[in-house]
Structure 1
Amino acid sequence: MSDTNFDVVIVGGGPGGYVAAIRAAQLGFKTAVVEANHLGGICLNWGCIPTKALLRSAEIFHYMKHAKDYGLSCDNPSFDLDAVVKRSRGVSKQLNAGVGHLLKKNKVTVIDGWGKLAGGATGARKVAVEKDGKAVTTLTGKYVILATGARARELPGLEADHKLVWTYRDALVPNTMPKKLLVIGSGAIGIEFASFFNTLGAETTVVEVMDRVLPVEDPEISAFAKKAFEKQGMKILSGATVKGLKRGTDSVTCTIETKGKTEDITVDRVISAVGIVGNVEDIGLEGTKIKVEKTHIVTNEWSETDEPGVYAIGDLTGPPWLAHKAEHEGVICIEKIAGLKGVHPLDTSRIPGCTYCHPQVASIGLTEEKAKAAGYDVKVGRFSFIGNGKAIALGEPEGLIKTVFDGKTGELLGAHMIGAEVTELIQGYSIAKTLETTEEELMHTVFPHPTLSEMMHESVLDAFGKVIHM
């Protein structure tokens, strides 16, 4: 390419990278994105989006099996796994093309290749780009943003072989429907895949090293989730570790230790979902001042590394490792570089988390346990789905909305939800936290009837002894 000088060079075209690029272009920066694989990154191609497409198919299959509950008939419902996967891949392909269109529309230069820092002083950072081991070009940017993302963590002895032991990428394109499945890890990724395969009929066991399923959630929500999963036929082993895997021709015997007792479980496939590690290798960090801790780049509140002119965003940096966090981080980073007024550092307590299992789980802010540990005078409200007309009409009467407040100031400290469509409802509490809304303002808010959102109102009322419908 003839022109290799840019204001901003972004290494990585995932949610953080491409959003930062678009915002940079909007602000008049000459911008380039270097992407080695797929625009949209893991989230769009191998994570958030395709898993939701799979889970949607599973959800519809669930309703087909329960058609009688709605006065309908659907005899002997079945599924075509290849067609389910094909639909999921098609959704990702469509959105991948959409990202390319957005970058082109905003006049962002996209370079196909692997980018890494190649030296240079402040004001003239260089990024070398390679493709298939051959040099493509070297870009010069006043600012460089590293957004190379993360990949699945692999534990010694439990490494994926992509045939019997799957990573999330393998689980997205299964070539067989396992009759028996073991999932290692009950975070969002593990539980979503467990929910998908369990709904389609796999005898599913989940092993979690912590003392409860979905361990980052409020303990009350975790307990509710465990009961719901077990009711669906899932086996949950908490406080357990997989000590070894003995791989056969078409099965795996898993040795599991729970509270000092060991048992062997033989399954067709294993999914390893034990966290992520940052993609910090081979991106030119050597010889720079950039610090790496536990495989993730250290930055300040503006995404600046210790190397002048170099920034890092998204899963490459600290938690929470979420696409929407990466996107917002990218915008903040660029707007700070541009010197815009009113730019605020990212407040992670205002970032919602969602898990798209059945039932769905969503949360924001402090759990009751953590709020008490922080010294707050805590008031807690709860409202069950069984008390909501819309939930009953939907045939989804199992669920809970829990709110946590500072009893002295009325500040909303956290909200924790499980049940139908809570991943859509949580944004209401996200707005409330961003606006620093008090319990009084939430109480004075009129929620439409009949909606699931009414439960959000009732949970607030319950925290202060004013609940109506329970």
Structure 2
Amino acid sequence: MADTYDLIILGSGPGGYVGAIRAAQLGMKVAIVERERLGGICLNWGCIPTKALLRSSEIYHYITHAEAYGLSAPKPAYDLEKVVQRSRKVADQLNGGVKMLMKKHKIAVHEGVGKLVGKGKLEVTQGDQKTVLEGKKIIVATGARARDLPFAPADGKKIWTYRTAMTPPEMPTNLLVIGSGAIGLEFASFYGDMGAKVTVVEMLDRILPVEDAEISAFMEKQLKKFGMDIRTSTGLQKLEATPKGVKAEIKAKDGTVTTEEFSHAIVAIGIVPNTENIGLEALGVKTDRGHIVTDGYGKTNVEGVYAFGDVTGAPWLAHKAMHEAVICVEAMAGEHPHEMDVKNIPGCTYSRPQVASVGLTEAKAKEAGYKVKVGKFPFIGNGKAIALGETEGFVKTVFDEATGELLGAHMIGAEVTELIQGYVIGKTLETTEAELMGTIFPHPTISEVMHEGVLSAYGRALHI
């Protein structure tokens, strides 16, 4: 007889395991199915272990620039194997934490490959053994994987996706990064700070294309200052592994095509949803370009089947998946959660310098018909930033002139991925410029740039 549950979740990434926990809290009997490791890509191969790598490269950067702080650190060096080992230990620790949470909430964990095989039925295959689980409701949270170049699939030796880039068999000397989104620039920062010569190619006319144009321009200037070769409006026509590395055929902005050699290449051109071979077609679950189509509460077009996270489309962010999971599970339990408001989802890039944003860019706000007030404040005007030696960066705010509504906030500089949440809370509470200007910010902190960025939009900045 099949095991029976109130809810079965296929996939244990940030959305999957958070959804399972919330469902258990609401009194459901829950099972989760995972083919690899609890925590999914984010915890094991993405968000968390990459930050461990970036922390190592950040510290190495400070060591190599110790003199700027009146310190001496002769002949700094690193052990790549130990840097990677630390990152993997962080992932292992968190994987263990998710296991503990599953046990604590009495969530059944089924290891194996899951597939929908009928209404309320999910088959789990592990080796030669097949088990059928029955659930009143099933959530698909299978996530996504790195997109390969169609003409040059990653080989794990010289052509890498994020998986190999996180556990490199060797240190690149001359690295080509294809794509300048968050993943591409985070790896560019890591390997650049560890000493590799880095070239970034981007098909669009600017790096970090989803960010505000001024943020993109500032980031490009900074990366070039650090020695990176940044090429926008540039296409990759051919990429092949060679005995020495990789050979790339690159088409520049002016149409010139050059053939160049690199030691390694990282492909960071987006993701592909994991929707193949999981039984969606047989049940008639609607997809759009591979992504599962849902309403604002995770419902698909098939009764009893839900989905959230990367498998449902952009933005492909762990915190978006977690929030969607809670909304979905609470709605199916008869609670009344608000639908996801994508305008309040922050985006973070953990490069050096860091980038963070929420809401509309200035251009998007104007396209939407708003008459805007824009504020900008540089880190060089902040006492704490000067004391830290982190003066490169700025904050930009976008307000609706008519109502004072905060439409968007965009930041680049030290620790802005931690600071952005202040603006996110403000937007969630529908705060206007008046409340933000009337808020007391502690001194001395970098967070004061947030206050000044609001004041600046209304001609009231105090320190510039």
TM-score of the superposed pair, with normalisation by structure 2:
0.99
In the TM superposition, 1:52-201 aligns within 5 A as 52-120=51-119, 125-132=120-127, 134-201=128-195
In the TM superposition, 1:279-358 aligns within 5 A as 279-341=274-336, 343-358=337-352
Distance, in Å, in 2 between the alignment partners of 1:208 and 1:423 is: 23
- Given that 2:143 and 2:273 are in contact with CA atoms closer than 8 Å, whether structure 1 keeps it comes out as yes
- Given that 1:128 and 1:135 are in contact with CA atoms closer than 8 Å, whether structure 2 keeps it comes out as no
Distance apart, 1:250 and its partner CA: 2.5
Residue type of the alignment partner of 1:87: R
Match of 1:454 in 2: 448
Residue type of the alignment partner of 2:32: V
Match of 2:268 in 1: 273
Distance, in Å, in 2 between the alignment partners of 1:283 and 1:459 is: 48
- Given that 2:44 and 2:91 are in contact with CA atoms closer than 8 Å, whether structure 1 keeps it comes out as yes
Query: How many residue pairs were aligned?
Result: 463
In the TM superposition, 1:248-263 aligns within 5 A as 248-259=242-253, 260-263=255-258
Match of 2:235 in 1: 241
Match of 2:386 in 1: 392
Match of 2:461 in 1: 467
* Helix, strand or coil at the partner of 2:343: helix
- CA offsets, 1:224-263, max 9 Å, x none? 0001000000110100111001321131111100121111
Residue type of the alignment partner of 1:387: G
- Which moves more between the two structures, 153-162 or 37-46? 153-162
- Given that 1:243 and 1:256 are in contact with CA atoms closer than 8 Å, whether structure 2 keeps it comes out as yes
Distance, in Å, in 2 between the alignment partners of 1:390 and 1:210 is: 36
Distance apart, 1:75 and its partner CA: 0.5
- Given that 1:14 and 1:39 are in contact with CA atoms closer than 8 Å, whether structure 2 keeps it comes out as yes
Match of 2:32 in 1: 33
- Given that 2:6 and 2:28 are in contact with CA atoms closer than 8 Å, whether structure 1 keeps it comes out as yes
Residue type of the alignment partner of 2:313: G
- Given that 1:114 and 1:130 are in contact with CA atoms closer than 8 Å, whether structure 2 keeps it comes out as yes
Distance, in Å, in 1 between the alignment partners of 2:281 and 2:349 is: 37
In the TM superposition, 1:15-34 aligns within 5 A as 15-34=14-33
- Given that 1:151 and 1:277 are in contact with CA atoms closer than 8 Å, whether structure 2 keeps it comes out as yes
Distance, in Å, in 1 between the alignment partners of 2:264 and 2:420 is: 34
Distance, in Å, in 1 between the alignment partners of 2:363 and 2:457 is: 16
* Helix, strand or coil at the partner of 1:43: helix
TM-aligned CA distance change 1:127 to 1:3, over 3 Å:
closer
Distance, in Å, in 2 between the alignment partners of 1:246 and 1:323 is: 33
**Poorly superposed stretches of 4+, deviation over 3 Å:** none
Residue type of the alignment partner of 1:455: V
Distance apart, 1:318 and its partner CA: 1.8
Q: Which runs of 5+ in 2 are unaligned?
A: none
Residue type of the alignment partner of 1:78: A
2:216 to 222, 230, 235: 222
- Given that 2:2 and 2:134 are in contact with CA atoms closer than 8 Å, whether structure 1 keeps it comes out as no
Distance apart, 1:452 and its partner CA: 0.5
- CA offsets, 1:1-30, max 9 Å, x none? x77010000000110000000000000000
Distance, in Å, in 2 between the alignment partners of 1:365 and 1:447 is: 22
Residue type of the alignment partner of 2:208: L
TM-score of the superposed pair, with normalisation by structure 1:
0.98
Distance apart, 1:154 and its partner CA: 1.1
Aligned alpha-carbon RMSD (Å): 0.8
- Percentage of pairs with the same residue: 60
Distance, in Å, in 2 between the alignment partners of 1:27 and 1:96 is: 24
Distance, in Å, in 2 between the alignment partners of 1:405 and 1:95 is: 39
- CA offsets, 1:349-392, max 9 Å, x none? 10000000000000000000000011001100000000000000
- Given that 2:12 and 2:141 are in contact with CA atoms closer than 8 Å, whether structure 1 keeps it comes out as yes
Instruction: Tell whether 2:220 aligns with 1:231.
Output: no
* Helix, strand or coil at the partner of 1:216: coil
* Helix, strand or coil at the partner of 1:127: strand
